[in-house]
Amino acid sequence: MDNRGVARCLHEIADLLDIKGENSFRIRSYRVAAETVENHGGDVVAMVRRGEDLKSLPGVGAGIAGKIQEIVEQGECAYQRELLAEVPRGLLELLELPGLGPKGVSLVWRQLGVTSADELEAAITGGRFRTLPGMKDKKEARILKGLQERRNQERRFLLPVAAAAAERLIAYLKEHGAQRVEAAGSYRRRRESIGDLDLLAVGGEAEALARALTTHPDVKEVLAQGAGKSSVVLSSGLQVDLKQVEPDSIGAALQYFTGGKGHNIATRERAVRRGLKLNEYGVFRVDTGERVAGATEDEVYQALGLRYIPPEMREGRGEIERAEAGTLPALVEEADVLGDLHAHTTESDGKDSLEAMVAAARARGLRYLALTEHSRAIPSPTMGSGMDEARCLAHIRRLRAYQERVPDLRLLAGVEVDILPDGRLDMDDEVLAQLDVVVASLHSQLTMEPAKMTDRVLKAFENPYFQIWGHPLARRLFQRLPVGIDLERVFTEAGRQGVTLEINSQPQRLDLPDHLIRSAREKGLRFVISTDSHSTSQLENMRWGVGQARRGWLGPEDVLNTRPADGLLALLRRPSGQATSPGPAAR
pLDDT at 578: 63
pLDDT at 585: 40
CA–CA gap between residue 4 and residue 498 (Å, rounded) = 28
CA–CA gap between residue 497 and residue 191 (Å, rounded) = 31
Taking only the tens place, the pLDDT of each residue in 497-506 is 999 999 999 9
Q: Are 300 and 278 in contact (CB under 8 A)?
A: yes
291 pairs with which residues across the strands?
A: 284
CA–CA gap between residue 59 and residue 380 (Å, rounded) = 55
pLDDT at 386: 87
End-to-end CA separation in angstroms for the chain: 43
CA–CA gap between residue 337 and residue 320 (Å, rounded) = 27
For the entire predicted model, the pTM comes to 0.74
pLDDT at 586: 35
Cβ atoms within 10 Å, residue 55 = 12
How far from the centroid of its chain's Cα atoms is residue 236's Cα?
21
Q: Are 27 and 14 in contact (CB under 8 A)?
A: yes
pLDDT at 137: 76
pLDDT at 180: 97
158 pairs with which residues across the strands?
A: 193
pLDDT at 385: 78
Q: How many helices (H) and strands (E) does the chain have?
A: 24, 17
Flag residues of the chain having pLDDT under 50. Answer: 585-587
326: left (phi over 0), alpha (psi -120 to 50) or beta: left
pLDDT at 1: 61
CA–CA gap between residue 347 and residue 345 (Å, rounded) = 5
Q: Are 580 and 560 in contact (CB under 8 A)?
A: no
Cβ atoms within 10 Å, residue 150 = 15
Contacts of 20 (CB under 8 A, 6+ apart): 83, 86, 87, 106
pLDDT at 117: 87
The domains found in the chain, sorted by start residue, are 1-87 (1.10.150.110), 91-137 (no CATH), 157-243 (3.30.460.10), 249-325 (3.30.210.10), 334-571 (3.20.20.140)
b/e code 252-282 from CB counts within 10 Å (16+ = b): bbbbbbbbbeebbebbbebbeeeebebebbb
Q: For residue 565, what are the CA distances in angstroms to 114, 215, 587?
A: 60, 50, 7
Q: Are 213 and 194 in contact (CB under 8 A)?
A: no
Q: For the purposes of burial, counting CB atoms within 10 Å of the CB of 482, is it exposed (0-12), middle (13-18) or buried (19 or more)?
A: middle
Q: Are 291 and 283 in contact (CB under 8 A)?
A: yes
pLDDT at 581: 58
Contacts of 290 (CB under 8 A, 6+ apart): 284
